[in-house]
Structure 1
């Protein structure tokens, strides 16, 4: 009989992760029903405070097949509880979108790349009730690991991200030609009107709290009086400004954006000298069809070291454009190749999305790991906790140094007008 063992760090063992559940996982992964589960070992798959909307579990199973010795496989289970505090998950259909992305979109994009590229992990199983749950291959078994969100990515990492992102965007453009309705479900992203509609909704409360704290912080900086005044006016119409930063525009280049492109949603593989050789993306639940400026600005203002952001942004955009053009030409489907100037224009038009990322997301990213243990959506429902946590986030030295550079840039770009 199969046994299930939960590590001590699994405080509330999920009852839906049972033997029949993993029997289905194995049948899909191995493409056979002739398999006998022997044992299941489940532990937490991420540090406390690193995942807001989901619980991540690492699972190792032992099993036997006829005429085979005992074998082992490892999986990642992503479980999204049904909670009132995360109503935007239903509003934005993030579970459905992620399921479609892994089952249908990514395999087709990889086929367009002639299977020379992996864009995401394999999805083996999903369950809607009692909790939205997705089961993936564990890419750690293939040597993929996360980089440091606290330090940010150096130029070598960023160049690789630009190359892979360009291939992802280019193949999505091709898939949209082959199947014109494939991305109809991708109209809602992180800043969709649906997700921001409620003043007391979690997303709007979170971004509003960050905006107020940004204004408070910058108001204390000598020499930033004009910028602080503009931020104050921007925050008076925050919802409209947020929606506008993502809203579709006429005649823009359109691609499938990952939608949440920051350090923790990337897994890197390194050579013996610890140089990044490969990259796979994870967490496609907020993907959105729209300008590549959405992904590019979000990545620039959440994931780079300040040194790279300050001095290598142009080189990164040139790398992105060169790989985008090459991929589209190699696909040989007659898709117009955007010029470098067009890509620059897309990025410039979405600088407002970069501003949002710089105060709405980056404060969390730059937080010291020791301060994130109690970060979860349930805690953020408490107004006093949220206020204290946001103030703590904005005390980060890395955040302050970055904002002193980026805010004048956003002012020059007209984002705050």
Structure 2
């Protein structure tokens, strides 16, 4: 009997072979699968900044079904571009995505989502592996099922925003349950946001240029010397520790034709952190300004209801329970995180026509109206000009708190849960 090839991560699309692909498909579909034919086409550069992607069209048959079946797969690899590859290495992004998809393929995660009523939040995973810094992820290509990415420059609608947050709330609930139950988790990979500093700096420069010759330009300039603090601002107000996407904009979401059903992809920023980060990233990077200006409470209520329902349907209760008011308070205290991540992303969003200038300005206007720039005041040292050597004080309406990782752990422990077995 011929030995099956050992699956290893690939260096590039050119390394895809008939035997390798057949074994990947057997791993994800049927051990008896026989690959009949296949073609691979790389997506244009820039389509996946943190990975090189190819679409593989394949035809196969199985022992149970001799008829030839056509399928489509998405293959993700470490970028060949050295700058993008270093970005992936510095953030350990390949490891994060591989470990997430292994978790998504686990019976624990699939059972949790099934009981929650959302069994298909993540595309089918055929195989995921990493070797040193090479990684390969093979997923179901959902475009054949009429799912598509929606990144309109003016932003997505309220309906699409609620569908996305409802989906990620279930993942958050699964992650919270897993880490509370097991204490440790394969995805609890140390997260250090220092690798975002260069992107934040570039984004601030772009925003300062956008607001040239206005008072806002001067306000934005005061943040340059405090970028190293900005990238860690989410630690200043712990809420709960759970599995988050970390880059939840609609370039990483696929929508059904009617916009009511979503699949979340590209989990390279996945880590255990504050779920409010995912909420704010989606609001500022992808939503029409009316979503957060006029419908913020409705959006957050939708998210919280989905989170609670996912726990309830899995017979998990929180004691004492986190409340919706806790969520509102945390969102309000962490707007500066949303600003930081928005700044990191805004150059690419503008350059690739994923965001209009008007929508970018709406984000700044919203944050300014909320007092974010006045309540997180950079204090200039005596004798310095107003753009250099500033001391950054996180002063959220008079609330000043030291960053203390122990506090987050203690808060998580305080919210211990009960699994109501057999009830």
- Fold in common (TM above 0.5): yes
Aligned to 2:109: 109
**Contact 2:151-2:250 within 8 A present in 1 as well:** yes
**Contact 2:123-2:139 within 8 A present in 1 as well:** yes
**Contact 2:197-2:227 within 8 A present in 1 as well:** no
Task: Write the deviation string for residues 253-280 of structure 1: whole angstroms up to 9, x where unpaired.
Answer: 222111000011111113xxxx323111
**What is the Cα deviation at residue 327 of structure 1?**
2.3
**Contact 1:102-1:122 within 8 A present in 2 as well:** no
Q: Counterparts of 1:175 and 1:53 in 2: how far apart (Å)?
A: 27
Task: Write the deviation string for residues 201-230 of structure 1: whole angstroms up to 9, x where unpaired.
Answer: xx4333212212322332423xxx1x4333
Aligned to 1:216: 209
**What is the Cα deviation at residue 344 of structure 1?**
0.9
Q: Counterparts of 1:413 and 1:282 in 2: how far apart (Å)?
A: 36
Aligned to 1:18: 17
Aligned to 2:189: 186
Mark the CA change 1:122 to 1:239 in structure 2 (over 3 Å): closer, same or farther: same
The aligned runs of 1:195-234 (5 Å cut-off) are: 195=195, 203-221=196-214, 225=215, 227-234=216-223
* Secondary structure, counterpart of 1:253 in structure 2: coil
Aligned residues: 361
Q: Counterparts of 1:279 and 1:132 in 2: how far apart (Å)?
A: 25
Q: Counterparts of 1:341 and 1:94 in 2: how far apart (Å)?
A: 33
The aligned runs of 1:109-188 (5 Å cut-off) are: 109-114=109-114, 116-117=117-118, 118-128=120-130, 131-182=134-185, 185-188=188-191
Mark the CA change 1:102 to 1:128 in structure 2 (over 3 Å): closer, same or farther: closer
The aligned runs of 1:234-253 (5 Å cut-off) are: 234-243=223-232, 245-247=233-235, 252-253=239-240
Of 327, 334, 338, 1:343 maps to: 327
Q: Aligned Cα RMSD in Å?
A: 2.7
* Secondary structure, counterpart of 1:151 in structure 2: coil
**Contact 1:174-1:335 within 8 A present in 2 as well:** no
Q: Counterparts of 1:30 and 1:184 in 2: how far apart (Å)?
A: 25
**What is the Cα deviation at residue 183 of structure 1?**
5.3
* Secondary structure, counterpart of 1:62 in structure 2: strand
**Contact 2:173-2:307 within 8 A present in 1 as well:** yes
**What is the Cα deviation at residue 157 of structure 1?**
0.6
**Contact 1:64-1:71 within 8 A present in 2 as well:** yes
Q: Counterparts of 1:50 and 1:410 in 2: how far apart (Å)?
A: 36
Q: Which range is displaced more, 15-24 or 326-335?
A: 326-335
Q: Which range is displaced more, 286-295 or 328-337?
A: 328-337
Of 34, 51, 54, 1:54 maps to: 51
Aligned to 1:315: 298
* Secondary structure, counterpart of 2:71 in structure 1: strand
**What is the Cα deviation at residue 307 of structure 1?**
2.1
Q: Counterparts of 2:86 and 2:114 in 1: how far apart (Å)?
A: 39
TM-score (norm 1): 0.78
**What is the Cα deviation at residue 368 of structure 1?**
4.8
Mark the CA change 1:14 to 1:183 in structure 2 (over 3 Å): closer, same or farther: closer
Q: Counterparts of 1:126 and 1:256 in 2: how far apart (Å)?
A: 19
* Secondary structure, counterpart of 2:127 in structure 1: strand
* Secondary structure, counterpart of 2:59 in structure 1: strand
Mark the CA change 1:83 to 1:314 in structure 2 (over 3 Å): closer, same or farther: same
Q: Counterparts of 2:179 and 2:210 in 1: how far apart (Å)?
A: 44
Mark the CA change 1:53 to 1:331 in structure 2 (over 3 Å): closer, same or farther: same
Which sections of structure 2, spanning at least 5 residues, go unmatched? 1-10, 379-423
Aligned to 1:361: 345
Q: Counterparts of 2:344 and 2:368 in 1: how far apart (Å)?
A: 14
Which sections of structure 1, spanning at least 5 residues, go unmatched? 1-11, 196-202, 373-392
Mark the CA change 1:106 to 1:291 in structure 2 (over 3 Å): closer, same or farther: farther
* Secondary structure, counterpart of 1:15 in structure 2: helix
Task: Write the deviation string for residues 66-114 of structure 1: whole angstroms up to 9, x where unpaired.
Answer: 4602222211111113654232322332212211111124642331133
User: Are 2:345 and 1:400 aligned?
Assistant: no
Mark the CA change 1:51 to 1:330 in structure 2 (over 3 Å): closer, same or farther: same
**What is the Cα deviation at residue 148 of structure 1?**
2.5
**What is the Cα deviation at residue 287 of structure 1?**
1.2
